[in-house]
Structure 1
Amino acid sequence: MAEQRGAGEREAAAEEILWREEARRFETPDGGAYLQDRLLAQPRSASPSCGGGGGATAAAVMDLVHTYVPGSKRGRGLAARLCDAAFAHARRRGMLVLPTCSYISETYLPRNPAWNELVLTDKEPKPSSM
């Protein structure tokens, strides 16, 4: 129950995290802490019912490559808030997430398994850079 409360508190605090599209990163207002991403294309076959005519379409994949929090701001849950904002952003835009950053794959996702539904799996072909 405490984990759920913590996640809810972080969700409320996530509004303090800014999305800087031109820099491809989520950051604190001062820019000191950030989560860097890069946009990838994921090939998928389009079904005729989607109007795709059977060709391949590309679904966006957000590769979360690096999370940085300066030493003076560590231990406050800031890295998790950056991740909360990034995963919420991906969900709103119908994107998948590739958790390249070791903090996200080894620490954040095990503590926040609800986001696993957005994670690109090994069963899907590897994405290419856009």
Structure 2
Amino acid sequence: MKHQIIHEEKYQQFTAKIGTEDEEGELAYAKPNQGVLDLTHTYVPEAYRGTGLAQELIETALAYARRHNLKIIATCVAVKKHIAQHPEHQDLLH
């Protein structure tokens, strides 16, 4: 399942609009230092868990970091797990 994910820089999050209501999944981040994104938490509504939405959000954030030459801190457990399972992203870790 592919979702449209938008980067809402103003809110420091990547957001996926899902369902027919105002439901959304999100991956929030902070900017603790210049050139660093701290991926702090991922949220997916219960009805959409297990659909791959969290992985899509994480991959979008990692691609954004790579495109902008940013390093990441994986505070979010889901992000840590994803990076452990996808070693091609290890170079992004701060």
- TM-score, normalised to structure 1, is 0.64
Choose between structure 1 and 2: higher helix proportion.
1
Map residues 26-45 of structure 1 onto 2, 5 A cutoff: 26-30=14-18, 32-41=24-33
Residue 78 (structure 1) shift: 0.5
RMSD: 1.6
Once the 2 structures are TM-superposed, how far is the Cα of residue 104 of structure 1 from its aligned partner? 1.0
C-alpha deviation, 1:113, in angstroms: 1.1
Q: Larger Rg: 1 or 2?
A: 1
- Residues in 1 aligned to 2:5 and 2:54: alpha-carbon distance in whole angstroms: 10
Counterpart secondary structure, 2:61: helix
How far residue 40 of structure 1 moved from its aligned partner, in angstroms, is 2.0
Q: Give, in angstroms, the shift of residue 32 of structure 1.
A: 1.4
After superposition, what is the alpha-carbon deviation per residue over 1:72-96, rounded to whole angstroms, capped at 9, x for unaligned? 0011110000000000000111100
Greater strand fraction, Structure 1 or Structure 2 = 2
AA in 2 matched with 1:113? P
Q: Which runs of 4+ in 1 moved over 6 A?
A: none
Report the TM-score, using the length of structure 2 for normalisation.
0.88
Task: Kindly state the Cα deviation for residue 29 of structure 1 after the two structures are TM-superposed.
Answer: 2.5
Out of 108, 111, 116, which is 2:90 matched to? 116
Please give the residue correspondences for 1:1-130 in structure 2 after superposition, counting only pairs within 5 Å: 13=2, 16-30=4-18, 32-41=24-33, 59-105=34-80, 107-120=81-94
Counterpart CA distance in 1 for 2:5 and 2:85 is: 20
> How much identity, in percent, do the aligned residues show?
30
Question: Structure 2 CA distance, aligned partners of 1:118 and 1:37?
Answer: 15
Aligned length: 90
1:102: Cα distance to partner?
Answer: 1.0
**SS of structure 2 residue aligned to 1:19:** strand
User: Residue 76 of structure 1 aligns to a residue in which SS?
Assistant: coil
